[in-house]
Structure 1
Amino acid sequence: MENVQISVIISTYNAEEWLEKVLWGYHKQEFKNFEVVIADDGSGPKTKQLIDGMKNELSYPLVHVWQEDDGFQKSRILNKAIVACRGEYIVMSDGDCIPRPDFLSVHDTYREEGYFLSGGYFMLPMDISKLISKEDILTGKCFDIDWLKKNGLKSTFKNNKLTSTGSKSKFLNFITPTNASWNGHNASGWKKDIVAVNGMDERMQYGGQDRELGERLFNYGIKSKQIRYSAVCVHLDHKRGYKTPESIAKNQAIRKNTRDNKAAWTEHGIVKEKK
């Protein structure tokens, strides 16, 4: 595949069980002209073994971008992955988000010059996350609300994310009070725009580093579109060990500075010094 249209960046760290499920989700995509670039923030050898073992089974090219474990350095590995992307359009998601078969088709349909797309996720409890098998992904059962309810999912308004299509999903995208921000688990934009604002700010720790990228894109003149009820992925449960009051406070200070100064460029991104 010479001309890859979409590059999907998947972040991961020592979570092979979840990553395998996600990679099978991309195997079933209706949209075919894409690659997956794994942004691996220092996983041990099991992750590489999984990726090497799956490469020949999957319907798309798989690229593994790895760096040594130096604590939580997700922003740094995401920048390395951005550089590695061959597609002119980038979808960012996580190694715990299984995409519905129409996931990339939706991103492809809604992409537009001068915009980025803001998607959401459907959170699953740990017992259902564990239960989902390769077969459940390949047959689409894990996106079926009846199957999920049969396995213990409670009824809430959020279930509309899985059941809405067509005009209903467009209407819910329109009325949702949630801002169309850059969400690291489900967002997409043009590589040239992401590079123009110098990618992720590598000073940022867990919590909000994705939003800060979006804020710089806004300052650069890019607008956003809401697709959280159209581009669906199910989010597998996990612990969030890196979330500390210190990291949140540090990130909020960086984001405030970005907003107050209307900064479109970070000096702590892909390029370390602005030429």
Structure 2
Amino acid sequence: MKISFIVLTYNRTDALLAVLRSLAAQCGEDHEVLVADDGSRPEQVQMLLAQCPVFRCPARHIWHPDVGFTAARARNLGASRATGDYLVFLDGDCVPNKAFVAAHTRLAEKGCFVNGSRVLISQRLTERVVNGAIDLPSRPVWFWLGARLSGGSNKLLHLLPWGRRLFRVKPDFHWHGIRSCNLGVWRADFVDVNGFDETFEGWGHEDADLVLRLHHLGIHRKNGFMGTEVFHLWHRENPRDQESINKKRVLERMKTDVVLADKGLRELDSSPGVKSTVKITPLNGSNSSL
């Protein structure tokens, strides 16, 4: 099984580099990394190209123009260029724990997608991470116990591995805890639902919509707690003006059997300007080839 890791980013290369350093330490020749860039500024892109860690697998940067919050489009672009059998979506401010790749590999199961877990990191600890003063995946148990007690993190689940299938698979649709910042799905299933729906505007619930349509397709949710944790670096919350509208759309779709996104993977090549503006660049230090 070849896994493609699709990492969403936007103007936060210092955090993205922490994510890529962790992936580079874990990924082998049977993996692939695609940075799905939602229109970062030129100086942010140059920082990425100059400081990207060395990968043993192909690694590419896929950029499209900044036209607002279009995370669904960026993720679809990344997925459309992926060659893996299995896709793992990550956010560029979510640093994988040291067993992240192995956990997603172990939990991948036909007929299921994996809803990953996260550990929230405080603003103070985040500053140390992005400044390069600390590498979260390599921190020992005592560090995390101290971070939990001091408010540096909100949980310790990544210290308690649970390799069993028990309690993981949920046959029904559950809204709670769905996050595209850490989600694994078979490429064939992602294609069958036409990917993320780009008609969801602004922040919120395009990931729940994807999961709902996977559920309508007959794909079950498999929770990745105690294994797939990522360390979600602190940031100011994005504007949530569209959240209630997007949530209402998902609630309405729950009453239907809709499987396909209104505007997704199939519409990428027909979107005005896409072919002429998308830039795909091999990342420094990888064995990428276009």
Describe the SS at the equivalent of 1:64: strand
- Does 1:118 pair with 2:115? yes
Question: Equivalent residue for 1:209?
Answer: 206
Describe the SS at the equivalent of 2:101: helix
Aligned partners of 2:185, 2:96: CA distance in 1, in Å? 17
Question: Equivalent residue for 1:272?
Answer: 267
1:40–1:77 contact (8 Å) kept in structure 2: yes
Aligned partners of 1:99, 1:181: CA distance in 2, in Å? 18
Aligned partners of 2:178, 2:194: CA distance in 1, in Å? 15
Question: Equivalent residue for 1:140?
Answer: 138
Aligned partners of 2:237, 2:189: CA distance in 1, in Å? 30
Question: How many residues are treated as equivalent by the alignment?
Answer: 263
- Does 1:5 pair with 2:6? no
Which of 72, 80, 88 is the matching residue for 1:75?
Answer: 72
The one-letter code sitting in structure 1 at the alignment partner of 2:183 is A
Which of 237, 241, 245 is the matching residue for 1:240?
Answer: 237
Comparing 215-224 with 250-259, greater Cα deviation is found at 250-259
Question: Equivalent residue for 1:261?
Answer: 256
Describe the SS at the equivalent of 2:226: coil
Higher normalized contact order (CA 8 Å, seq sep 6+, divided by chain length):
2
Alpha-carbon deviation of 1:235? Answer: 0.7
Question: Equivalent residue for 2:275?
Answer: none
Which of 94, 97, 113 is the matching residue for 2:94?
Answer: 97
Aligned partners of 1:172, 1:271: CA distance in 2, in Å? 35
1:172–1:229 contact (8 Å) kept in structure 2: no
Alpha-carbon deviation of 1:188? Answer: 0.2
Q: Identical aligned pairs, as a percentage?
A: 25
Aligned partners of 2:221, 2:259: CA distance in 1, in Å? 15
The one-letter code sitting in structure 1 at the alignment partner of 2:213 is R
2:15–2:233 contact (8 Å) kept in structure 1: yes
Describe the SS at the equivalent of 1:272: helix
Question: Equivalent residue for 1:48?
Answer: 45
Q: Within 5 Å, give how 1:8-19 maps onto structure 2.
A: 8-19=5-16
The one-letter code sitting in structure 2 at the alignment partner of 1:160 is L
- Does 1:198 pair with 2:186? no
Which of 132, 145, 162 is the matching residue for 2:158?
Answer: 162
Which of 53, 60, 66 is the matching residue for 1:63?
Answer: 60
The one-letter code sitting in structure 2 at the alignment partner of 1:269 is G
The one-letter code sitting in structure 2 at the alignment partner of 1:196 is D
Aligned partners of 1:98, 1:162: CA distance in 2, in Å? 12
Distance 1:223 1:174, change over 3 A: closer
The one-letter code sitting in structure 2 at the alignment partner of 1:164 is L
Alpha-carbon deviation of 1:174? Answer: 8.0
The Cα offsets for residues 134-190 of structure 1, whole Å up to 9 and x where unpaired, read as 47328702xx342245467537995331320246x8778589xx8686521111011
Alpha-carbon deviation of 1:127? Answer: 0.4
Distance 1:60 1:264, change over 3 A: same
2:20–2:53 contact (8 Å) kept in structure 1: no
Going by fraction, where is helix more abundant, 1 or 2?
1
Aligned partners of 1:138, 1:258: CA distance in 2, in Å? 39
2:113–2:185 contact (8 Å) kept in structure 1: yes
Scaled by the length of structure 1, the TM-score of the pair is 0.85
Aligned partners of 2:148, 2:220: CA distance in 1, in Å? 39
Which of 27, 31, 36 is the matching residue for 1:34?
Answer: 31
Aligned partners of 2:110, 2:168: CA distance in 1, in Å? 20
The one-letter code sitting in structure 2 at the alignment partner of 1:140 is S
Describe the SS at the equivalent of 2:32: strand
Aligned partners of 2:76, 2:169: CA distance in 1, in Å? 31
Aligned partners of 1:71, 1:82: CA distance in 2, in Å? 20
The one-letter code sitting in structure 1 at the alignment partner of 2:227 is S
Aligned partners of 1:100, 1:47: CA distance in 2, in Å? 24
